[in-house]
Amino acid sequence: MPPDCYSGRVLWIDLTSESTREENLDSSIYENFIGGKGLGAYLLYRELEAGLDALGPDNTLLFLTGPLQGLPAPNVGRWTLVTKSPLTGLFLDSHSGGALGREIKKAGYDAVGIKGRSKQPTYLIIDDGSVAFEGADDLWGMGVHAATRRLQEKNAKGSSAYVIGPAGENQVLFAVGCTELAHQTGRGGAGAVMGSKNLKAVIAHGTKKIAGVDVDTIRKINRAVIKGWNEKVDNGFKDYGTAFLVEFANNMGHYPTRNSQNGYFDEHRLIDPATMEEKWGLGAHQSCPHCVMRCTRAYKIESPDGSGAEVESTVEYETLGLLGGNIGVSDPRAILKMNYLCDDLGLDTISTGGSIGFAMEAYERRVLSDADIGFPLRFGDADAAIQLIKMIANLEGIGKTLSYGVRAASKEIGKGSESFAVHVKGLEVPAWDPRGRKGLGLSYATAEVGASHLRGWPATVDPPSESALDVIDSMMTARDGKVLTDSLIVCHFTYHLPLSHEQKIALLNAATGFDYNESSISTFAHRVATLTRMFNVREGISRKDDILPERFWEPQKDGPREGMSAFVNTADFEDSLDKFYELRGWDRNGRPTNDTINILGLESIL
Amino acid sequence: MSPDFEFYVKGKKIMMNEFVENVIHDVIMAIVSHLHDVDLKTIEKVEIS
């Protein structure tokens, strides 16, 4: 029997036949894969055949919890979505705030797997072991905010809702879903997979009590990290949430500027978190449940629908980067407006900003004309960007081309535009230009989901002005830490508390009664990373795909990293990649060796 | 306590999500529920000055 902090069961839902079944999981699966990302990697690899259409009925959406959801542990008001990404065609794990994980577990499950395709718009209610298939005709076409509010009114108090917007319904390849108005499964297009299944929303509610083996230890760690947090003063993150990172990133040459042509934005001071907070700040009430950090800041803006109504925009640093400097916009009001619009339509603000930045550069290089777009599209033109956001969500004109992401859009547009399509494996690059830090580019090049900023960074703030070989070990260690974080489904920002790696292992052991230590956690992380790699290898990924976009081989033009590219030269990048493969036990082509597969106990799965 | 009670700290209104609202509601009620001669259901405002 699995430990009591787990339910021990997966709920499988087939939308085509409107049927359900339950699967009991063996305790060894929990010991080997823990939960969240790890458990999702196991289930997705097992369930999917290579090459299937990510937007076809056979793709599977996995809604996952972990061992800590529902227990008094710090920062676990989160959940994980795993699926095959329609944007990259590869493994996707995306992690969202909100109570959905806790409610799924209280309803009696560790994971919910959804397959098939409904005949008409549908939403699901999972409530204490029962599943209802509800018609969603009246919700289809509705924005995320209105649809969520309507579902909250209709459903049990305390239930949690995950909802897509029109972009997901229209299968924009970087569409998101949103939990409780402010927390998105941000990257890779899970919202499009929902839309392809005619699934508008998933609602969960449960009443089961969750038990842990040693809850006193969990409470003790919780108290210790909260004490540490409360004692912090003069802390940018505490004062402003992630918005404080604009200046920090800009000073390091990380801040994306005009389609990542540079990592330094000369107008960055206009995007000032103190001014935003003072003029428009509403508070941190949209933050994740059970969290003391309260980093989700809400700002008051006029609704972009022109009604004059006031709405709340919950912007994060990534959006301040991609819909700010990356499209040459420095007016925070405009960024807040674009952020609200993307959230309501259900678009990933990183990929949206990356796509608009790409289109703006194409326009300024005369690769795209007024006739192609329908209006001028210069860097800095927020009104044009707002128009383009709506066109992307509604698949109108050039918006339809951009809805496939910059990789596909540049192939369709041609005329050399591939050279400034800024992505890795099809995923647009986040707001951390890798030319700002030694070795960061390797994290983007090797992350299984494509260019993600949440897959472990090298332990250095040095610029990439010398070989990165000495920081690859630390990047690997950080990545392994992220695998644990995403399998426990603890917030990535817990380093601010701080919640240490050792405390995370202690929380895991206290919840489960397992006997993990640093060494066996490293093996666990290695196992999950190798399994997700094998998923991608099965889809055709190899060394040729572990690359950086051309843009990051161009030296930055000015600012603190002037003259620097992501690595000192291509030989250093290739040497770093060799070292990464060697540390993982993969061959020179990036394929896990049979020895590695056997040592990690994956031979029966692969 | 009214389900849409307002919470003020030193004159500043604190916005809350449903989770925090429930926590504060439960804590306040735990403190004041012995006041049988007060109509607790009609509390609309909690203020810390």
Q: What is the pLDDT of residues A486-500, one digit of tens each?
A: 999 999 999 888 999
pLDDT of A402 > 80? The answer is yes
Contacts of B35 (CB under 8 A, 6+ apart): none
The amino acid sitting at A589 is N
Which amino acid, A528? V
pLDDT for the residue B33: 85
Residue A289 — pLDDT band, cuts 50, 70, 90?
A: confident
Distance from CA of A47 to the nearest CA of B (A): 35
Contact yes or no for A286 and B17 at CB 8 A: yes
Counting one residue from chain A and one from chain B, the pairs whose CB atoms sit within 8 A come to 21
- What count of Cα atoms within 13 Å lies in the side-chain half-sphere of residue B16? 20
Task: Give the integer Cα–Cα distance in Å for B3 and A314.
Answer: 24
Contacts of A283 (CB under 8 A, 6+ apart): A297, A298, B14, B15
Mutate to test the interface with A, among B9, B13, B19 (most CBs of A within 10 A): B19
Among A157, A158, A285, the residue with its CB nearest the CB of B17 is: A285
Q: Complex ipTM above 0.85?
A: no
CA atoms of A485 and A317, how far apart (whole Å): 21
Q: Tens digit of pLDDT for each residue in A561-599?
A: 999 999 999 999 999 999 999 999 999 999 999 999 999
The answer to whether A491 and A290 have CB atoms below 8 angstroms apart is: no
In the stretch 1-49 of chain B, residues with CB closer than 8 A to chain A read 14-20, 22
Q: Residue A336's pLDDT band (boundaries 50, 70, 90)?
A: very high
For chain B, the maximum distance between any two Cα atoms, rounded to a whole number of angstroms, is 30
Average pLDDT value for chain B: 87
Lowest mean pLDDT among A14-18, A283-287, A422-426, A452-456: A283-287
By Cβ distance, the residue of B15, B18, B22 closest to A283 is: B15
Cβ contact B17–A290 (<8 Å): no
Which residue among A157, A285, A298 places its CB closest to the CB of B20?
A285
Instruction: Report pLDDT for B19.
Output: 79
Q: What is the pLDDT of residues A124-168, one digit of tens each?
A: 999 998 999 999 999 999 999 999 999 999 998 889 999 999 999
Letter string b/e over residues A423-457, b meaning 16 or more CB atoms within 10 A of that residue's CB:
bbbbbbbbbbbbbbbbbbbbbbbbbbbbbbbbbbb
Residues 6 or more apart from A141 whose CB is under 8 A from it? A166, A169
pLDDT digits (tens, 9 = 90+) for A376-391: 999 999 999 999 999 9
Q: What is the mean pLDDT of residues A307-330?
A: 97
Contact assignment for A289 to B19 by CB distance below 8 Å: yes
CA distance B4 to chain A (A): 14
Band (A603; pLDDT cuts 50, 70, 90): very high
Could you report the per-residue pLDDT of A4-38, keeping only the tens digit for each?
A: 999 999 999 999 999 999 999 999 999 999 999 99
In chain B, residues with a C-beta closer than 8 Å to the C-beta of A183 are none
Subunit contact B15:A289, Cβ cutoff 8 A = no
Q: What is the pLDDT of residue B17?
A: 83
Instruction: Provide the shortest C-alpha distance from residue A69 to chain B (in Å).
Output: 15
B3, pLDDT greater than 80: no
Query: What residues of chain A lie within 8 A of the CB of B20, using their CB?
Result: 285
The pLDDT confidence band at residue B22, using thresholds 50, 70 and 90, is confident
Mean per-residue pLDDT, B3-12: 89
Q: Which of A75, A155, A285 to mutate to test the interface with B (most CBs of B within 10 A)?
A: A285
Q: Give the predicted TM-score (pTM) of the model.
A: 0.96
Q: How far is CA B22 from CA A79, B5, B19, B44, in A?
A: 21, 11, 5, 14
The pair phi, psi for residue A393, each rounded to 5°, is: -60, -35
